[in-house]
Amino acid sequence: MKSLVKEAELYRTQGLLEESKERYLEVLQLIEKNQRFQSNKKAINVIKDRIVGLERDLAEIDQETEAPELSGKVQDLIKNLFSFSQNKDAAEMEGAVALARFGQYERALAEFNSLLDKGTLPLIAAKNVLRCHLALSSTDAAIDQFRKWLSGELLSKKQLRDIRSFLEYVLKRKGIQTKLPEVVGESSQKPKEVGSEGGFLDVCSVKMRLESGPCKGSTKELDVTFQSGNVISLIVSAKDKDLIDSFMPGIRLRGVHFFSSICVFRANGIVSEWTSIKTGPRRGDYVLSITIDRSDKLDIL
């Protein structure tokens, strides 16, 4: 029993909390089976306290997987680390998307606005500006931003129409009924576009039937908060813990319906990550990342 306690303590100091808890439970079982130890209430209580403490630490860790607000220096590092393209414009966009994916929304917003001002991949930059506003729960800010673009010259009419239908769809999915101003007139100016914006379709929401976990057999529909190529991020309410438990990393999601502003397509996806949000209005909720499998055929529905 002494060696079991020693092991349990060592695992605890190593941060191997599950392993530590298992050992303490073994110790408790041994005590309960052995009459000689049963009278030692003090020892039993110490072990029980340890188990409760470990359970509390494990629960805290579950809640600690948030993206904290990082220093400017670290944000710069993230931006550089996650910019892989040789093409300068694409690399800058990747850096900004990485910031958003790690929950650095304020900084990401500044980066997307700067890219938009420079005319770098304006359609992607503009949509990401709106996504940042929406992630910060600033629906009004997103709508105001769209109005500003309408009266400016940063974006072509064609791009504005695309952005309008994107925003309209996202707001509708959020249950927000608002009449967005129309884009009037034909596109006469050449957009200040640099590089190609070809890539994955913008996905606004997804619908899928879950094949495992506590929600097995049920069909769920969720909104997309962020997208980087074929990786989409979704926010799930903390109240839906069962749903989170149904999305363990690595799980393959078959026949997912991906809704974009121009079409609906069906493809497979893989759950790549989930984290919880600690700050802001969505504190306590979860962010799920799903990778759309490019190797499979995408069925346009």
| CB of residue 87 to other proteins, shortest distance in Å | 15
167 or 210: CB nearest other proteins? 210
122-135 and 105-118 are packed helices; what angle lies between their axes, rounded to 10 degrees?
Answer: 160
How many helices (H) does the chain have, and how many strands (E)?
11, 7
How far apart are the C-alpha atoms of 252 and 113, rounded to whole Å?
Answer: 35
3 or 151: CB nearest other proteins? 3
Strand, coil or helix: 133 = helix
7 or 168: CB nearest other proteins? 7
| CB of residue 231 to other proteins, shortest distance in Å | 7
Q: What is the DSSP string of 34-86?
A: -HHHHT-HHHHHHHHHHHHHHHHHHHHHHH--S-PPPPHHHHHHHHHHT---S
207 backbone dihedrals φ, ψ, rounded to 5°? -130, 135
| CB of residue 68 to other proteins, shortest distance in Å | 8
Cα angle 138-107-226, degrees, rounded to a multiple of 5: 60
How far apart are the C-alpha atoms of 269 and 254, rounded to whole Å?
Answer: 7
| CB of residue 70 to other proteins, shortest distance in Å | 7
Question: Residue 228 forms beta bridges with which residues?
Answer: 231
* Contact in structure between 280 and 104 (CB atoms under 8 Å): no
Quick one: which of 14, 40, 56 has its CA closest to 6? Answer: 14
Binding site for other proteins (CB under 8 A): 3, 6-7, 10-11, 14-16, 19, 57, 60-61, 64-65, 67-68, 70, 73-74, 77-78, 81-82, 84, 98, 102, 231, 249-250, 272-275, 289, 291
15 or 255: CB nearest other proteins? 15
| CB of residue 209 to other proteins, shortest distance in Å | 22
181 or 229: CB nearest other proteins? 229
| CB of residue 27 to other proteins, shortest distance in Å | 15
Please report, for residues 16, 268, 292, the alpha-carbon distance to residue 208 in angstroms, rounded to integers and kept in the order given.
Answer: 35, 10, 13
Q: What DSSP character marks residue 190? A: P
260 or 289: CB nearest other proteins? 289
67 or 234: CB nearest other proteins? 67
| CB of residue 15 to other proteins, shortest distance in Å | 5
| CB of residue 282 to other proteins, shortest distance in Å | 18
82 or 169: CB nearest other proteins? 82
| Structure-token pair, residue 47 | 């072990």
Measured in residues, the chain has a length of 301
* Contact in structure between 279 and 69 (CB atoms under 8 Å): yes
